[in-house]
Each structure stands twice: as C-alpha cells, then as structure tokens.
Structure 1
Amino acid sequence: MQCKTRAFFSLVIFFLPLSACCQQTFNADSVYQHIRTLSETIGPRPMGSYAERSALDWVVKKFRAYGADSAYVMRFTEVFGKRNHINTNSGVAVGLFRGKSDTCLAVGSHIDSNSPESAGANDNASGTATVIELARLWGARPRHYTLLFLSFGGEEMGFYGSQYFVDTYKKIRDIGLMISADMTGAPGEIITIMENKQGQAPRRLMEDAFRLNRSMGINPLRYPTHFGAINTLLEAAGSDHDPFLKVHIPALVFSTGLNTSPIHSAQDQLRTIDKSQLDQCGRFIDTLLIHYQSGTLPARKLDHYILWELFGRLLFIPPWLGWATILIALAAGLSAFLHNRRQRIRMDPAQRPRFAPLKLALLFSVVLAAAQTGEALIQAVKGLRYPWLVHVTAYLWLMIFWAIGGLWLALRIGRRWRWNPDPSVYAGAALILLALSTAGAAFLSVRLATYPAASLLLFSLAVLCRPAWLKALFGLLTPLPMLRLALAELTEMIARLLTANGSWIDRFFESVLYTLGLSLVALGFLLPFILSFAWVVLKLTSLKKMLQQFRSRTGGVLVALLLLVTTWHTCRLPSHDADWRPSVRLNATNDLRTHKNSVILNGNEYFEDIRIRAGSQTWRFDGRTHKETVTMPFTADWMTITGEQTARSGKMDTVQIDWLLHSAKPWHTVKLLIRPDTLTLEDVESPVKFVHHKNKLTFEWGAQPPESLWVQASWLLHPGARLIRSLTAVYAMPPTALTVTSTVAAVSYRTTLTQTDTLEIKDGRIRTPSHSD
C-alpha cells in the first residue's frame, strides 16, 4: 500500500505542470480586443510618435497585470540609418517572467505601424496582441525557462527597436531562443522566415516547428524557398528576429497574409482580422513554447542550409551541395557545348543565314509586347493603370494567354525569314548564356546560382542524351527553375507594394521608359530559354509540325477565341475593393521666406471623382490623369526658429548656437541643415544627434517629435565664411482648412514648410543680412 501511494503521488507531481499548462487556453477574443485597442483606440503608431509611446506603456501595464516579475520600457532616442542619424523617442516594452532557469525564451513583436495613415491592425497590432495573450497564459503557468515578452518600436523603419534591444540588453547571452510574431491575423498559410546573410536558424528548431504545426491540424506552416533565395541576398523583407540571428541566437518569425492582407496601407484595419487565424497562430506559438519549456533548447548557433519542402518532407540542403550542383552543371555545360560543336552542320559560309539568335530575340519581343497587350486593353477600357490590384493571379494568367497569342503572331512573321537550320547554333548560344548566368550568380550567392545551374544542367542533359523523348523532356523543362525563381511565393505582395511607386511616374515618356526597361530585363532573362526552345524544335520533327499547325489560320482563330474569352472574363473582375484601393495624396509646399507655395494632387492611379473642398471652392478631378496642380494660395506659418548664435574669432572661428525650433502644429518630421558657403565645418559637437559630411551638418527628427526642439551645438568655421541655414518640416495634415474626398482612393496629406536664411559673421557677431542667400 505504501509503495502504491508513493507511486500515485509521483505520477501526480509528474503530470502537475502539464495539467497546469492545459488549464489555461489561448483566447482569440481577448486578442481581438487588444487589436481593437491598438488599431482604433490608440490608432496609427509610427516610430517615435506619441501613439507608439502610449502603446508601449499600455503593453507594459498588461505585462504587470499578468504577473511579470519585471516590466518596463527601454527607451531609445536615436537611430542610425544608412545615410542619416535620426533623433526619435521610441522604445521596447519588456515583460520578464522568471523561471527556474536564467536561460530565456523570448517572444516578441513590433508595435509600430508604417505611416500616420495606417492603423496597422494586422501589421502588427495582431502580433503584439498575440504576445500579450501569451504573457497572460504563461503568467499563470509553471516555468522552467525564464520567459521574456517583448514589443519593439521602430521595426518598420529598419528593426531599430529589436536592434537596440540586442545591442543594450545586459543579459542578451541568456536568451536561448527568439520567436517573432509579425502579422498573425490574416487567413491562409503561416509563413516562416528564419535566416539572414549569415546563416539559418538551427535545423532542429525548424524540424520542431514544422512537426508541431502538422500535428495540430491547423493552417500549414510554409517556408518561401524561392523568395528566400532573393531575400537572403537583398535583405528586402524581414522582421525583428533578424538582429537576434546576427548574434547567433536561434530565431524565426511567423507571419500571415503576406499575399492577402493590405499591409502598409490605410486599409489595414480591424475588419481584416480573422479570429480563427489568431487562434491558430497563438496556439501554435504556445505549443512551441510548451514543447521547449519541457525539454532542451536548440543549440545557440546558426546552421547553413537551404530549406526545401518536397512532397510534405523537409529537405535541408547543405551549401556544399549547392556548390557541387553549380560545378556539375558547369562541367555538364562544357561537355554539352563540345558535343554540340561536333554536331554542327557543314554549310558554305556564304549560304549560312546570319544573326539567327538576334532574329529570335526580335521575334520574342513580339511575344513580350503581346503579353502586355491584354492588360493594356483592360487599362484602356476601364481607364485604370493597375486593374489587377485585387486579382493579381488572374492577370498573370491573362499575360500567359496573350503571350501564346504573341507566339502565334511571331511564328507567322518568322515564316518568311531565313533561319539557320543548324540546331547547334542555338544550343551553343543557350549554353554560353546559361553558363555565364550561373557563374555570375555564384559571385552573388551560391543559393541564387543554383537556379541557373539547374537550368544549365537540364539543357545539357537534353543536348547529351540520345532518346528523342528525353531531349524533349529536358529541353522543355529547362526554363522551369528560373521561372520558379521569377514567380516566387510572395509575387502578389511585391507587385502590390510596387504600385506605390506609380505616383512618381507621371509622364508618358517615363512610362514608356519604365515599360521598355522591364521588357528588356524580361528579354535578357528569357533569351537562353528562347534559344533552347528553338533547338528543341529543330531537333524534334513532331514538335516542329505541331508549331506549323499552330501558326495556321485555324490556329489563329482558336487563339483569338481564347484571348477574347479570357480578356472578357478578366475585365469583369473588380479592380478595387475594400482591401485593395489606390492611394491619392495632397502634397503642399510653402517657402516661409519667399512665400511661394504649391499644391499638387498626386496618386498612383488615374483619378476617379476626386474632390477638393476649401471653403466655398470645389475642385473636381476625373479622367486619365494622376497628377494635378491646384491653384490655391495659402499661408502655413506654423514654425519658427529663434535663439542665439555667437562666434569667437581665431585662426578658425568658433561658432556656438542655441536655437529653439518651435511649431504651432504637430509636425511629422523635421530636418535642420547647416552648411558654409565655402570650405567646411570642423570639430562639430552637440548633445543632439547629427550627421556631419564635411560641408554639411544635418539634424533630423523622426515621427512626431516634440513641438519645441532645442538645438545646441558648436563647431569651427573658416574665417569669412557665411552659414546657410535651412529648416524643413513635414506635417501629416493639409495646409489649410480643406478636405479631399474620393469614392475609391485612400486619401492622405503632406504639407512641407521650408525656411532658409543666411548667417553672416562679422567682428565676433553673427547676424542675418537683410536678404537671404
């Protein structure tokens, strides 16, 4: 009996932690309410803004309410960009929940939104709300490892909050794992990124994450392998896990809605949040925490691999295998090139048609032009620049169908041209281009080079093998690796974000150059595959006959019917909806010295019933224009610069300034530029952060700085030089009492004020001449 009693109590003690964990469940309703608070009650939260600071303080209160042993905000007042040094007032909310071990599991999210117009519901109030709910759960659970819940400011500007935390947190070496929740509220797959240029998160961490995800039966976890090949090189997209990876802390991010959520726009609102996805993402991260709380953590190091999910299995491809693939492909390419030269058809040079590859390139230009014709027709019918904003995939299919029509037309044109009947001419050119692409890409990234290497290997096999069906198979598969790279997993997200640049292309000549540039890039990208396809056609009589039948008038009728149906169907699809809308901005400028001002209405889409109302005046814009100048005199003398400046004569004058920059309205950003009219400034000192480039001194403040800014500084100046002082302030508001309304577009405002004057140094005094330089 005594032994049984001991056994019973042993089982109770063993399962007690697990039962305690199971008593607390993730509550998506609470998460939803937290998102409401962040996105609607607090609102847009650009880095350094009052709203961001309020959100950080609110998160700390939540951590304290849930039993954090320590909760506070780590403030930072400066950030370093690639070309600037910004004064700001941002921070990191920290909630520490101690465990039996000092080793920490960190769970973080960024709290800022990307602009004053974006409420940032999914990006990233959803991730922050998820972290808060996880803090509530783990505040009531037993913990072996210490838990660190974090909310970072300044992610949208460049991971500034997380980088500051990694650089200054005293116990950073105690962190054994970091999980970032960046957008957890949009339906669909859960995307993970776990790498940077230095390497990847430990293999074991990825295996655990994928295994637990599949065991839960929730939306699948996916890694964008092909997008990752480009992103690792360019570092164009990332999140707050990246600074942790840089110091070899295992870290990864979970995101949703990258292709389906209207992030970085005014449409990123609470209505886009899916509670079911919140529940799935939250429970998934919670399960991962439970798993590691009851076991050992991954090694604190980075691994090096290419993650590929194939038929439901994870493949961790080591870098040496990438190099091996490249070398094998180049060797196979050389062998195929030599074999191809031996297959040349002997012809009289005078009878041999010339410039065959160039002719192919010209014909393919017809295919490229046709591929853009379908979209152009819909643009003309609908009067839109981006009719595909809602249905990106449908327009990609439309492009493919019109490219087929372009192929028919190119074949009709090319039948009257003299072509070189020797397949080796086209194969040799294709092999050379693919080998050069592989070698060039290898200098940038081994991972990136595996794509042209795979195409080179496929075409080399097509040239070297004997059976006709294998030649056809390998030859037709040749472009597949590079096309997969071009059409990576996050193509829709990239395409939509690029439409923001459309507002700056406002002339026909610029549009033509932009389209021509994209066409030339596409032509260069696809030229090796055009040549390889020509080789396949010449090698396979059956395929050549099929193309001859395709280019017939009957084939043309069938192609025309296909294009008519697909274009009609695509044209009927809506171009805009509640999530995907164009944007229009009223940009006003005012020079406070000359009193010159301008008002320009600028959008990334053609204007549709846009109205400006100012007092009794109304302006209406509609039609094929997306940039208009509005004649509207106004005065916005909101800012002043006062204070003292002194100079002490010597071999070089010592200048000291004590200026007050003040604004009657909340400014968005501020920049003070000081430069001499000759030579340079030297030995600059100031308690305010600045950037000094020889003859230029810049003080810059980020989103919504205080309305009064003190600038104290000193420097050495060459005698006789004058100082040119320029103050530029940007406001996220209209310049006067006016409103811009649109039935379709999201509206925003920017007013830029400038004040430039010249300071002259004479007899140890600095004065402002009666005229400005």
Structure 2
Amino acid sequence: MRNILFLIFLCFLISCKQPINQETRIKEDVTFLASDKLEGRQTGTKGEKEAASYIEKRFQELELTPKGTKGFLQPFTFKPKTNPHEAIKFDVNGDGTITGNNVLGFIDNKAENMVIIGAHFDHLGFGGEGSLYRDSIKEIHNGADDNASGVAILLNLAAKLKAKNTKNNYLFMAFSGEEMGLLGSNYFVKNPTVDTQKVSYMINMDMVGRLKKDSALAVYGTGTSPIFKQTLKAHNNRFKLIQQESGVGPSDHTSFYLADIPVLHFFTGQHEDYHKPSDDSEKLNYEGMKTISNYIFNIISDLDDNGKLTFRKTKNESEETPRFKVGLGVIPDYMFDGIGMRIDGISEEKPAQKAGLQKGDIVIQLGDSIVVDMMSYMRALSVFEKGNSTKVVIKRGDEEVEKKIQF
C-alpha cells in the first residue's frame, strides 16, 4: 500500500511539472555556449564536442527526432588547407586530421516539404588566424554573439514550432566548421540526411545578439524567392530592415543558396568585439533576441501555407567586390545606410588608429575618391599598395576632418 501511495504521489509531481520557460532559456543557452568551460568551441576540440553534446541534449528536451548519421550528430572529417586557394578535402574514411560535428534535429509533421533553420555553433577557440585580437597572450574567444546568439534563437524557434505551422516539416541544424570556411553546411549539402528536393527554404542566423538602439536588422537573400520581400515587410513593426538580395554571403546560408534553395540570413551587425575575447554573453541584447525570434516565427507562420517556395538566382555581389592589397584597419558598420562608410571599430596598431580615426567617424573621401557607400569605399581602397600614403576625410559629428593615412 505504501508503494502504491508513493507511485501516486510521484505521478502527481510529474503531472505538475512546470513547463520550461523557453524565453529565459535564450540567455541560459548563450551563457553556457559562450562560457570559458568550452574554450571557444573551435572545430575538432573538446569544447566543440561539449557544445555539440549540449545542443543534442536541448534537442532531446524539445523532443526533436534525430536526423544525423549518428543520432543527432553528423560527423565530418577533413584535412585543413595548406594552400588558401585550394578546396577543402572532406574525408569520410576517417583518416583526416580534424573531425567536426553538425547537430540535426527534426520535427516531422508528415508534410510534403520542409524548412531548414540553421546557425553555426563553432568559434575561434583561443584565436588563431581569424582573430582580430593582437595581444601576444592567448585568450579564449567565447563567441557569444558569434554565434551562440544564433544557436539560442534556433532552439527558441524549435520550441515555438512544436505542433505549430504543421504544413511543413522542420530540420534544425547547428553547424560546425563555419569559421574554417562554411565546412559543416557545405558537407551537409553534399551529404544530406534528408531529401533536399523537398526543402522549401532555409533560414540562417549568424550574429543576432547585438540589436542596437536604432533596431537595425540586416536580412540577406531577400531576392532568392519572389515572396520574401513582401513577407518581411508585412510582419515588420519594429525593425529598421537593411535588405540585401544576394544569396551569397559569409555564412552558412551560402551553401544552401548554391544548391538552389531560397535563403534568408539574419544579422544584427558587426561590432568592436567581433572575433575578439571580449565577445562575451553579458554584452548581448536578450530582449532584442526575443524580438528577432518572434519576427522570424511570424515569417515562418506566414509562409506555412505557401507550399514549396520558388527559387530565384541573384546577382553575386561578391564578384563585383574590388580586391585590395592594404587595409585601413577598421570594422565597417555594415548596418549604416547614410552617405559614406561609418567606422564601427578600430584595430590596434593599424593605419586608422595611427592616423587618429575613431569609432563613429564616417569616411567620406579616401585619396581622390568620394566615398558614398561600402562599395565606393572598397573601390577607393583598392588602388593603394603597402607604403603609399594619402588623405582621408571623415565626418565626425557636424565637422569634416582631414587626416593622413600611411599604409
């Protein structure tokens, strides 16, 4: 009798279990993934594996179905490039030097088509080639914005989409190897665990944790399906949208666009902590992240009954980008839509810092060239070589200031 009463009491406790607050989990997910314990989540390291395990457990908690090749995981083995111009060599026989893990979870609504929602979870470890940190002491690059933020919103969307918008299936993918060249997404597209002919569109989130006061939100790939622009506009009552039509860009959505899949990539902009040890969890705008998650959910909801979206090729804007031999040593503000190129960060011991340029300065002339936007800035920069010097005119507040730049 005592055992029966105990079982009844246990069942009562289970039935009263409070549902998990997924909005609170956004911050919890970022805080864990961007903790020193994971040592920067560099692909192939112990920290990357711990991050993959954490995401796997969160998928289990959300009752997603495994869709990898080993449960939720899709391991991929590759040999690092020794020549920057050669293609990466994947090695499925297991005798390569580095193994990364994509993490894949599925919601099966028995629908005809599916939506892929992705975000990379790897980062730079202790720095290395991709780091903009110039101190000789090695420090952990926690990558809170880049890209624990994207993974946290991915998990939040997985919770929102359970038993909702059931006219599509959903594949949630946390990619590894992004920082080494979109390796995880590239590998998946070449070795898919689902029928990619059934993919309606793909949503990617990379650096979505720093929504600024002006609420500027960049969305790339808006030209890859005819319906995207009107859908983005219909549900926007908060953001200053900065749209780019091209499906090609420096994140994992590119791998899917090149496989003729419509893509949308969300991004809140670069900042002075980008690829530095200072990209930590306490600097993120968590309320902004919740707003972005709700916006993306509303877009997915709107597209639920549209069937498989039409794919449209876009002009590859990167092919028109000038090549240059020198740099100013600044982080451009890609969200700036005024005249000129606004500086969002200054690298130490580089020409801009030595010339006295500051964060917030707007470059309006470089040499003899007038700068009206990012492309004209790059064209102006492309004519210079190491050792050249020239003038740069900046707008600082209401004043125009001229400085001398030595490359």
Return the TM-score normalized by structure 2: 0.67
Q: Give how far 1:44 is off.
A: 0.6
Which residue of structure 1 aligns with residue 49 of structure 2?
A: 53
Q: Give how far 1:303 is off.
A: 3.4
Q: Please show how residues 584-595 of structure 1 align to structure 2 within 5 Å.
A: none
* Paired letter, 1:45: R
Q: Give how far 1:25 is off.
A: 12
CA contact (8 A) 2:207 2:269 kept: yes
Which residue of structure 2 aligns with residue 729 of structure 1?
A: none
Taking structure 1 as reference, are residues 61 and 487 closer, same or farther at Cα in structure 2, changes over 3 Å only? same
Say whether residues 1:239 and 2:239 are aligned partners: no
Which residue of structure 2 aligns with residue 256 of structure 1?
A: 268
Taking structure 1 as reference, are residues 254 and 80 closer, same or farther at Cα in structure 2, changes over 3 Å only? same
Aligned to 1:254, the other structure's residue is in SS state strand
Taking structure 1 as reference, are residues 174 and 26 closer, same or farther at Cα in structure 2, changes over 3 Å only? farther
Taking structure 1 as reference, are residues 384 and 97 closer, same or farther at Cα in structure 2, changes over 3 Å only? closer
Distance 1:144 1:153 in 2: 29
* Per-residue deviation, residues 200-249 of structure 1 (Å, max 9, x unmatched): 51121233223322xxx122221257xx7xxx8xx7x4211111111101
Distance 2:111 2:30 in 1: 32
CA contact (8 A) 1:185 1:277 kept: yes
Which residue of structure 2 aligns with residue 185 of structure 1?
A: 209
Instruction: Select 2:226's aligned residue among 200, 203, 218.
Output: 203
CA contact (8 A) 1:101 1:146 kept: yes
Taking structure 1 as reference, are residues 513 and 241 closer, same or farther at Cα in structure 2, changes over 3 Å only? closer
Instruction: Select 2:180's aligned residue among 157, 164, 167.
Output: 157
Distance 1:162 1:386 in 2: 40
Taking structure 1 as reference, are residues 261 and 292 closer, same or farther at Cα in structure 2, changes over 3 Å only? farther
Which residue of structure 2 aligns with residue 385 of structure 1?
A: 354
Taking structure 1 as reference, are residues 223 and 114 closer, same or farther at Cα in structure 2, changes over 3 Å only? farther
Taking structure 1 as reference, are residues 69 and 27 closer, same or farther at Cα in structure 2, changes over 3 Å only? closer
Which residue of structure 1 aligns with residue 25 of structure 2?
A: 30
Say whether residues 1:96 and 2:106 are aligned partners: yes
Distance 1:180 1:223 in 2: 14
Q: Give how far 1:98 is off.
A: 0.4
Distance 1:486 1:175 in 2: 33
Which residue of structure 2 aligns with residue 265 of structure 1?
A: 276
Aligned to 1:385, the other structure's residue is in SS state helix
Distance 1:389 1:56 in 2: 39
* Per-residue deviation, residues 232-290 of structure 1 (Å, max 9, x unmatched): 8xx7x4211111111101112101122x3521111111122001210121111111111
Q: Give how far 1:129 is off.
A: 0.6
Q: Give how far 1:513 is off.
A: 6.0
Q: Please show how residues 48-87 of structure 1 align to structure 2 within 5 Å.
A: 48-70=44-66, 72-78=72-78, 81=81, 82-83=85-86, 85=89, 87=97
Structure 1 unmatched ranges of 5 or more: 1-23, 308-378, 408-478, 496-511, 523-561, 571-773
* Per-residue deviation, residues 352-395 of structure 1 (Å, max 9, x unmatched): xxxxxxxxxxxxxxxxxxxxxxxxxxx99xx95264353343xx
Distance 1:185 1:249 in 2: 26
CA contact (8 A) 1:185 1:275 kept: yes
Which residue of structure 2 aligns with residue 129 of structure 1?
A: 152
* Paired letter, 2:57: K
Taking structure 1 as reference, are residues 251 and 486 closer, same or farther at Cα in structure 2, changes over 3 Å only? closer
Distance 2:353 2:253 in 1: 39
* Paired letter, 2:122: D
* Per-residue deviation, residues 706-752 of structure 1 (Å, max 9, x unmatched): xxxxxxxxxxxxxxxxxxxxxxxxxxxxxxxxxxxxxxxxxxxxxxx
Instruction: Select 2:122's aligned residue among 112, 118, 121.
Output: 112
Taking structure 1 as reference, are residues 79 and 242 closer, same or farther at Cα in structure 2, changes over 3 Å only? farther
Please give the root-mean-square deviation of Cα atoms over the aligned residues, in Å: 3.8
Taking structure 1 as reference, are residues 79 and 297 closer, same or farther at Cα in structure 2, changes over 3 Å only? farther
Say whether residues 1:218 and 2:242 are aligned partners: no
CA contact (8 A) 1:79 1:160 kept: no
Which residue of structure 1 aligns with residue 285 of structure 2?
A: 274
* Paired letter, 2:359: V
Aligned to 1:139, the other structure's residue is in SS state coil
Say whether residues 1:286 and 2:297 are aligned partners: yes
The percent of aligned pairs where both chains have the same amino acid is 19
Return the TM-score normalized by structure 1: 0.37
Distance 1:129 1:176 in 2: 23
Distance 1:296 1:90 in 2: 34
Q: Give how far 1:35 is off.
A: 0.3
Distance 1:246 1:79 in 2: 23
Which residue of structure 2 aligns with residue 484 of structure 1?
A: 373
Aligned to 1:57, the other structure's residue is in SS state helix
Q: How many corresponding residue pairs? A: 314
Distance 2:361 2:179 in 1: 25
CA contact (8 A) 1:123 1:182 kept: yes
Which residue of structure 2 aligns with residue 194 of structure 1?
A: 221
Which residue of structure 1 aligns with residue 167 of structure 2?
A: 144
Q: Please show how residues 527-566 of structure 1 align to structure 2 within 5 Å.
A: none
Q: Which has the bigger relative contact order, CA under 8 A and spacing at least 6?
A: 2
